[in-house]
Each structure stands twice: as structure tokens, then as C-alpha cells.
Amino acid sequence: MALLKISEPGASKTVKSRKFAIGIDLGTTNSLVASGYSGEVEVLLDETGSGLMPSVVNYGQGQIPLVGKLAKEIATRDPKNTISSIKRLLGRSKLEGIEADQFQQYQFSSDSKTGLPEIITDAGCKDPIQISSDILTQLASQARQNFDSEIEGVVITVPAYFNDAQRQQTKQAAELANLNVLRLINEPTAAALAYGLDTQEEGKIVVYDLGGGTFDVSILSLRRGVFEVLATGGDTALGGDDIDYAICNWMMEHGLSKQLLESKGYSELVRYANLIKHELSDKDTVDLKFKDWCGTLNREDFKKICEPFIKRTINACRRVLRDSEIAVADVDNVIMVGGSTRSPIIREEVERYFGMPPLTSIDPDLVVAVGAGIQAEVLVGNDTADNFLLLDVNPLSLGIETMGELVEKIIPRNTPIPSAKAQDFTTFKDGQSVMSIHVVQGERELVSDCRSLAKFELKGIPQMVAGAAKVRVTFQIDADGLLSVSAEELSTQQKAEIQVKPSFGLNADVIEDILESSYENAESDMEIRSLKEAQVEAKQLVDSINSALESDRELLGVEQLSVLNSAMKHLSALLYAGTSVEIRSATEELNRLSNEFAAKRMDLHIGKALKGKIIDKMQEG
């Protein structure tokens, strides 16, 4: 097994003929920075000899914010200016920030012009991008102290379930810190890279990543040096922090007075709960004392506290296995990632579900940063001893709205990225010169059940009969999971495009529910889709016949016209009251009844077009 090298704190290094890039694990609770030199990967240490930097920033009255351990140490003395777990607010709206339980101790600005949640501090209002940027700046400064060269690029890890807005704001934070982002990489994928250096066999790998504030699970396939993420799942609002809050609630349920928690008390209690959690990794029972309250918490009670959170992670594992179409027995290895996975209770439950002991040989706190450092070495152009190809996947389906408020998926979930896919569409009405493109994200069949990402219009479509124009819609996802959409009318090459940069991310509960709702409603969704498609087809046929009757009604006799009108009236009534089977049956009948009318119209218009022409001459031409 390869060694994981840890650098000496404060030691300066001069490295020739190598480009310097860093990998950053931007975590909810702690963050790390790693880099490679001489073919090895190291987690860089700060002046105290630690690689873990708390993701905490204090904005007192000074010009320069305090970041990391110093900020965490004064959190209890200055809670309103000390911000932690800010990663949970990336991609959120102002309202979502105000309503988030874990941010109740902060005061949010009501005058945010950007729509981002802005926390009021003595140094001014700070949004999640600015706060994340200060954390990244400190990590980069830590790296520069270790190298006699400027950093040429950075790879930053994000949870696999981060959506477009959250990824975009992570990049913006890096740019604000004057860092050149080589790539954003999913945290589970980075962990697989760290372990994959020593894994030569083919196999299926589960990456179980339970950090301070997020949970991700991914199924990866390793085959002949190629890593491919088969499926991803998780919860962006579930982590070790939730267990800390649950311990606090348990203590209050067992006699701890809420009056003791006024002012700075609650943040002190959360910190104390975190220490208790760590102690229970090594002890069966812990004696508790917080201010005037005393109690005892044993491992059995702690297991009950953790149970609902562990159950949620196992359910996510079950869904991801189903998505990847593999059974538990097909899994070869389980990698544990994130400081919360040090808990024996969590490891035992994971081992019980997968039927094998998980891999923990690399420090679960460091493994993601190591993988990011490895990827940074590859992307910056340094030679590596190991050759591998890494394929991330798109976590949620992307598509556009079509007639009937239906979703046409263009890039399905779990498609390897970067990716580009195109699909052709056409007009619904005669003479239509504008097409509205509505980009959506989600797994349901109706637009109303999915997330709206962006809308734009393609203008200048030639005015032709319905169905004659051909519009090609292309979706492109780059390596960071960011989406660009273009629409082009092929005959005129009229084009419109948009880069999807939504203002806010998904509500945490919505993210959790997206896949569950798609499974629970799969049958009814398909029934609704079938009905909507039948309605669209029927309406298009009725509109087409009415349009034809306006110009060529004289081709039909009174009886024929009466039969056709009666069939159209019957079909129109079914549009609002019939089943999909009834509508399709009536549509087929109307098609049959209108065939003779269509043939007469074709003969008439071909006759008009050829009138006065010499057929032989036309053939010669």
C-alpha cells in the first residue's frame, strides 16, 4: 500500500520542473489542502501541525477576518460574528437562510439586493460566497507557505448532490480568492481516487461519505484503470452536525433548562455535544456536566439518538444500489469518508447492511483532500505514476418542457460528464416563428413537479406548417457540472443559447424528496404522461382539420362534413373527461374519417401547383 505523506509544518520546499497545484476539500465542518510533489501526495499542515482547518470565520471589527482555529476558539465569546457550516447556505435563497434551524443564532439582512442570505456582522454583511472565499484564501495562504512558487491551479471538492447553483457559487468563491479552478470534483469520487491508487482489480465500490454537514453515497465501477460513477445519492442537509444538535435536544429533554442557553449558551452547548460524541467513540458511558446541569449518556442511548440519521443514510444507499442496478452482494468494497464515520455505531450499521467491514485505512478526514490533490496533479500536467480515467455523473435529469407541460429528458441522471446531447423538436402551430425553451431539472414527468432552471426564446423560425420546422436543442455539461443550453433552427441557422446559472439551490428537504417522489409516483406519472401525450396529439389533429376546413370546406359534401364535425366534437369532449385509451381511440377514428378529405386536398393543391406545366419538361429539368 502506498504511503500517505504528511509534510512538516512551516517547512519550505523548492521543487524544480513541476507545476504547483493544490486540491482543496472545502468541508462543512473542516477544510483541508493537499498537493503532490516528487510523485507523492501530501496533506499540508499549518503552524500547529494539524491538517484540519475548521471551516469557521470570525468577522470582528478588524480589517482581516479570523479563519480556522482562532475563529473557532472565540466562537463562544463572539457568536454573532463567528460563522460556521456556511457550506449549507451555498445556493440557498435569502428566505431559506433565515428559516434554516442551524443559523438561528445569526441576524440576516433584510435588504439583500442579490437575493443571497447575508449575515450581519461587525465587519458588514457577509454572504456565503464571501465567507467561503475567506476560507479558501486561508487554505491557499497555508499552501503558499509550503512552496516557493505561486499556485497554478486548484481542484475543489463538492458534495455529489450539489446542484448547478451550489457548484457555480463554489467557483465564484474560488475566483474571489484569486484561485484558478481547474475542476470541481465530487467528494466521493475524490475518495475513490485516493484508494484507487492501490486497487488494481476490477470491482464495484461504494463510497459512504458522512461529513459534518452533508451525506453522499456513490457507486463506482473500476475496470482496467477506468473509474466510472454508476450512480450517486445523498442529502446535502444531513451530517455529524445534526447528531450534535440531537444530543443537545436529548440533554434538554433530560432536564437541561433552556434558560441556561440564553445569549452564548446554545453555541457552547453544541460544542460540548460534539466533544461528547467524540468521547462515545472510545467509551461506553460519558458523565455530562453543562453549567448547573449533570447527567449521563451511554452508548445505547447514543445509538438511539443516531438511529434516525443512520437510517436515512442506509435508505440512500439502498436507492443508489437500485439506481445502479446492482445488488448488495455485487459490492466489492465500501470506503468510509468523513469524520462522522469514525463512530463505531455508524461503522457497525454500515458493515451490517453491506455484509463486509468498510475500508478505513486512510484517515476518513484526509482521504477527500488526498484525492483532490491527485486530480490536481493530473490536470495541471505533472506526470503521475498511475494512469487512470475518471468519469463523474450528472446527479439529476435535465430536459425541456414540451406541449402538454411534459418534460422531455435530454440528459438522464447518472450520465457521465462532461457530456453533450442534442434532440430535435418542431413547431406545434402553423406559422409559428418563436419557440420558448424552458429548461428543467428533476425526475418527474410533469414540469410542475420539476425544478425550473431557465427560460429563453428562439426567434426567427420560418413560418411553415406545424411540424415542418426542425429545431435542434443541445445540452452541454462541463466537467464542473455546469450546464449550457442552445437551440438552433437548422434551415436558417438561427440560434439562441443560455448558460444556466440559477440564483438559488434547492431546498434541503426538496433535494431529499426528488428521487423518493419519482419512485413513489412512477406509475401515476406514466399514466399522466400517457394522458397528456394523447391530449396533445388529439388537439393537434383537431386544430389541423379546422385549419383545413377554413380553406377547403367545399371539398366535402353535407353528410361528410357532418360526420367529421361530429367526430371532432366527440374528441374535443374527451380531451377534458376521457382516459388516454379513449382519447387515442377517438383520435384514430377521426384520422380514419379525415383520410378522404386529406386525399382530396392533396389532389387539389398538387393540381394547382402543376397547372400549366409540361410533365416531360419538368422531368427533363
CA 437 vs CA 92, 99, 397, 426: distances in Å:
25, 33, 16, 12
Place of cell 473500476: 222
Among 209, 216, 349, 445, the one annotated catalytic: 209
Among 42, 46, 72, 87, the one annotated catalytic: 87
- Amino acid identity, position 533: E
The Cα–Cα gap between 269 and 265 comes to 6
Among 187, 268, 365, 489, the one annotated catalytic: 187
Query: Measured between alpha carbons, how far apart are the two ends of the chain, in Å?
Result: 77
Is 311 catalytic? The answer is no
Q: Which residues contact 160 (CB under 8 A, 6 or more apart)?
A: 186, 187, 188, 189, 216, 218, 229, 232, 233, 234, 395
Is 365 catalytic? The answer is no
Q: How many Cβ atoms are within 10 Å of 621's Cβ, its own excluded?
A: 5
Is 527 catalytic? The answer is no
- Cβ(66)–Cβ(57) below 8 Å: yes
Is 42 catalytic? The answer is no
Place of cell 465542518: 29
Dihedral angle sign, alpha carbons of residues 179, 183, 186, 190: negative
Q: How many Cβ atoms are within 10 Å of 473's Cβ, its own excluded?
A: 21
Bridge pairing between strands 333-337 and 203-210: parallel
Q: How many CA atoms lie within 13 A of 555 on its CB side?
A: 19
The Cα–Cα gap between 308 and 318 comes to 15
- Residue 316, exposed/middle/buried by CB under 10 A (0-12, 13-18, 19+)? buried
- The residues assigned a catalytic role are 25, 87, 187, 209
